[in-house]
Amino acid sequence: MTRAGVAELSRTAGDDHERLARVWLGVRTEPGDLAVARLLVDVGAEEAVARLAAGRGPAQTVAPVRPDREPGTTAARVLESASRQGLRWVCPGDDEWPARLHDLSLVGDVARRGGTPAGLWARGPRAAAEKGRMAVAVVGARASTEYGNEVAGEIAAELAEAGVSVISGAAYGIDAAAHRGALAVRGPTAAVLACGVDVAYPRGHDAMLARIAEQGIILSEAPPGDHPTKVRFLARNRLIAALADAVVVVEAAWRSGALNTLLWAGELQRPACGVPGPVTSALSRGVHHVLREHRAELVTNAAEVIELIAPLGSAPLPGASGWNRGERRPLDGLDPMTVAVREALPVDGAAGVDLLAAEVGLNQTQALAVLGRLLALGLAERNGAGWRLPRRGGLSGGQVDRTLPT
Amino acid sequence: MTRAGVAELSRTAGDDHERLARVWLGVRTEPGDLAVARLLVDVGAEEAVARLAAGRGPAQTVAPVRPDREPGTTAARVLESASRQGLRWVCPGDDEWPARLHDLSLVGDVARRGGTPAGLWARGPRAAAEKGRMAVAVVGARASTEYGNEVAGEIAAELAEAGVSVISGAAYGIDAAAHRGALAVRGPTAAVLACGVDVAYPRGHDAMLARIAEQGIILSEAPPGDHPTKVRFLARNRLIAALADAVVVVEAAWRSGALNTLLWAGELQRPACGVPGPVTSALSRGVHHVLREHRAELVTNAAEVIELIAPLGSAPLPGASGWNRGERRPLDGLDPMTVAVREALPVDGAAGVDLLAAEVGLNQTQALAVLGRLLALGLAERNGAGWRLPRRGGLSGGQVDRTLPT
């Protein structure tokens, strides 16, 4: 951005340069463009816009970024137009912003797609309520079977009834069954789209999307009005995985986008789950494949999914509230495996989940569940991509930061 | 046994004391009686009979052992009567004896049942042929579904076609589907019963058992004429697991005898496999449970089972002897499909059987058979879970490691 450009942005945005710069990035760059995401992390939103709008951005962007002499005006115009439609921009600094999306900046990419989005467009009332709520992605084949739809709907309904938000992609098949399962019990559900949040895609889901926008929330990285492209679906899948505490695949053929979402879950150290089906069904082949490779846990119902993530979302365990008032020893009442994991945590630096899991003889999903419990109890702490003992040891009570990674 | 008893046994049996003593143990003690099995290991068959027949056996036998003043006569009489029916006694020292049953003496017990049997009663022509052959147990629920029967029959047929003996318990449901799958392709199958090998149990399987006795073999620890009891089914399950290289459970309700067989497989360090099904089916619940606990590998077809037991023919194939003496080019005389599979192998990394099969248009079982041939010829190599060209190209002869993966 030229100095004039920066000035223009400042003039337009008042104090909210950062926010407007992020809108511009969301509008003028391709969703999931890793080069843009890295630039954003490296130099901040305003400088990123300054460079990209002046044609001085990284060469490796997925699509060329058109220079823009008045980025502030561009961003303000889109924002205003979106606002008239009842759509809003959610980005870091906003209450609604799901901080767990930042995990995307810690992991790799898939075909140069990846990274934390500059922000998300949102439609619907739920975003604030979703924050801090447990969320599970339920995804799968478009050409699903009756069995798959039934199981996805059932699992989603049970999750929603338990207060867990059901995230999916609003596609035909399993996605729709999942959203509908949550809607049916008036539960929370979030649709993450590859098109603008105001675009009815697929067409046949116009009414369903309208209900989600009333009862839940629709989110997208793509600007309002934009249509989906094949690569945007892939970029979108990373958001579904990053927004969720766990990803459940219900049916997936041999090569399937749903498995791509599962891959992202693995990258992000979210539990990846697969629901088996008849081995005679082609629609279960992809799921069985990842189960066979131990890239996902076999689950058969919502309770088994919640078991994998509950410790991360729950308050200190019942009966455990006393410890931080000095009434009980912090390790009292912990099962031996939880104690073992805590003992494996380093005092300095960070140990990855894989390492900790190997040390105590758990698989990664199990280890993650135990770490979540320790985190909730203030007995473990995240450090970058890894885990360590809390700096204050978690023994001193009130000082312990019990914030969950989100 | 009193000294007189020993003398009597010797007189009756001539040089074959050991064999006759084992017959007596098989006739007069309860199948799977761990106290008897331990006594047999500790003091040998003749001394074991001497003690038990004299009422001086261990106190902890499952059922009291009736004293017998003429054990040799008793054993000889049963043996002769069995022989008149075309039944035979198979025990250590016999060509037919499946030595792998001795693994049972190395592992624990289930409700005091366990241990290597003194011998087995056999009916049918196959026993000698079975020796050294790969064998897979296919077991499951009696009250199976159409889905389970279909899958069990299909897997059994594919196993049998690949030359693998299909072992099961001749019960209604999955067991019967497995035997029938093998019989249908005129393949090898063995029924291991909880009753005498001459007893048609269940009644409805009279004809099927007759076919197995013609085409395969029927085995039992229980003496001819004996009827099954509940505990004998449990004792029998350990034999199914011990006779097999792997155990596959197709359908099993929450608590099920088939899972008991799987438990024995685990004890015996045989691969335990489970075939998933619809999560909506109660008949798949037990299988999903053991899969979730990682007590069994998820399998969806016969090829995946064969892959686990490292099947692939042990000796170089006929006609292959020349190449490693430098007389022939390695690819000479190979059929086009074998050449095609070899050409599909990567130089680096590894390609899975599924991928290779898809590339050349074979099913997985066929592709695995071809890969086994290439492996035996030193023209393919295993790499992790996949396959590749040998590092030395398989062209140099003597250096190539032709060891089969086990």
C-alpha distances in angstroms, A197 versus A82, A189, A191, A242, B96?
A: 10, 14, 9, 18, 72
Partners of residue B277 in chain A, C-beta under 8 Å: 276-279
Is A337 buried (19+), middle (13-18) or exposed (0-12) by CB count in 10 A? Answer: middle
Predicted confidence (pLDDT) per residue in B332-365, tens digit: 456 667 777 887 888 777 888 888 887 777 777 7
Quickly state the pLDDT bin for B295 (edges 50, 70, 90).
Answer: very high
Q: Which of B275, B279, B292 sits opposite A279 (nearest CB)?
A: B275
- Count Cβ–Cβ pairs < 8 Å, chain A vs chain B: 59
Q: Which among B279, B297, B305 is the top mutation candidate for probing chain A, defined by the most A β-carbons within 10 Å of its own β-carbon?
A: B279
Partners of residue B280 in chain A, C-beta under 8 Å: 147, 150-151
Quickly state the pLDDT bin for A387 (edges 50, 70, 90).
Answer: confident
The number of beta carbons lying within 10 Å of the beta carbon of residue A81 is 13
| Chain B CB within 8 Å of residue A150 CB | yes
Predicted confidence (pLDDT) per residue in A157-201, tens digit: 999 999 999 999 999 999 999 999 999 999 999 999 999 999 999
Does B280 sit within 8 Å of A147, measured CB to CB? Answer: yes
- Span B288-300, average pLDDT: 96
Does A299 sit within 8 Å of B292, measured CB to CB? Answer: yes
Q: What residue in A sits closest to B277 (Cα-Cα)? A: A278
CATH architecture of B312-406: Orthogonal Bundle (1.10)
Question: What pLDDT is attached to residue A208?
Answer: 97
CATH architecture of A101-311: 3-Layer(aba) Sandwich (3.40)
| Chain B CB within 8 Å of residue A279 CB | yes
Q: Do the bridges between strand A272-274 and strand B189-193 make them parallel or antiparallel, or are there none, so unpaired?
A: unpaired
Does A151 sit within 8 Å of B279, measured CB to CB? Answer: yes
Partners of residue A279 in chain B, C-beta under 8 Å: 151, 275-277, 300-301
B82 to chain A, minimum CA–CA distance in Å?
44
Q: In chain B, which residues fall in CATH 3.40.50.450?
A: 99-308
The better pLDDT of the pair B107, B142 is held by B142
Tokens 């089916």 -> residue = B281
- Span B152-159, average pLDDT: 97
Does B288 sit within 8 Å of A298, measured CB to CB? Answer: yes
Quickly state the pLDDT bin for B238 (edges 50, 70, 90).
Answer: very high
A333 to chain B, minimum CA–CA distance in Å?
24
| Chain B CB within 8 Å of residue A304 CB | yes
| Chain A CB within 8 Å of residue B285 CB | yes
Does B298 sit within 8 Å of A297, measured CB to CB? Answer: no
Q: What residue in B sits closest to A147 (Cα-Cα)? A: B278
Q: Which fold has domain A314-388?
A: Arc Repressor Mutant, subunit A (1.10.10)
Q: Which of B278, B279, B298 sits opposite A288 (nearest CB)?
A: B298
Partners of residue B304 in chain A, C-beta under 8 Å: 292
Predicted confidence (pLDDT) per residue in B368-400, tens digit: 777 877 776 677 887 777 888 877 533 333 333
Q: Which among A150, A290, A298 is the top mutation candidate for probing chain B, defined by the most B β-carbons within 10 Å of its own β-carbon?
A: A298
Phi-psi region of A269 (alpha: psi -120 to 50; beta: other; left: phi over 0): left
A301 to chain B, minimum CA–CA distance in Å?
8
- Residue B243, CB half-sphere, CA atoms under 13 Å: how many? 32
Helix (H, G, I), strand (E, B) or coil at A393: coil
| Chain B CB within 8 Å of residue A277 CB | yes
Nearest residue to A246 via CA among A116, A362, A132, A369: A369
| Chain B CB within 8 Å of residue A169 CB | no
- Span B131-140, average pLDDT: 89
Predicted confidence (pLDDT) per residue in B173-229, tens digit: 999 999 999 999 999 999 999 999 999 999 999 999 999 999 999 999 999 999 999
Question: What pLDDT is attached to residue B313?
Answer: 42
Assess whether pLDDT exceeds 80 at residue A244: yes
Question: What pLDDT is attached to residue B388?
Answer: 83
Question: What pLDDT is attached to residue B43?
Answer: 95
Assess whether pLDDT exceeds 80 at residue B237: yes
Specify the DSSP class assigned to residue A110.
Answer: B
Instruction: Give the ipTM of the model, two decimals please.
Output: 0.73
Among the ranges given (A116-120, A340-344, A390-394, B106-110), the one the predictor scored with the smallest mean pLDDT: A390-394
Question: What pLDDT is attached to residue A249?
Answer: 98
CA–CA distance, B188 with B162 (Å, rounded to integer) = 10
Q: What residue in A sits closest to B251 (Cα-Cα)? A: A278
Report pTM: 0.74
* Domain B99-308 in this protein, CATH class: alpha beta
Does A279 sit within 8 Å of B300, measured CB to CB? Answer: yes
CA–CA distance, A237 with A219 (Å, rounded to integer) = 12
CA–CA distance, B339 with B248 (Å, rounded to integer) = 32
Quickly state the pLDDT bin for A112 (edges 50, 70, 90).
Answer: confident
Mean per-residue pLDDT of chain B = 84
- Span A221-233, average pLDDT: 93
Q: In chain A, which residues fall in CATH 3.40.50.450?
A: 101-311
Predicted confidence (pLDDT) per residue in A145-160, tens digit: 999 999 999 999 999 9
| Percent of chain A's residues with pLDDT above 90 | 62
Quickly state the pLDDT bin for A128 (edges 50, 70, 90).
Answer: low
Does B288 sit within 8 Å of A292, measured CB to CB? Answer: no
The better pLDDT of the pair A116, A325 is held by A116
A136 to chain B, minimum CA–CA distance in Å?
19
- Span B230-235, average pLDDT: 89
Within 8 A by CB and 6+ apart from A351, the residues are A344, A345, A386, A387, A388
Q: In chain A, which residues fall in CATH 1.10.10?
A: 314-388
Question: What pLDDT is attached to residue A129?
Answer: 61
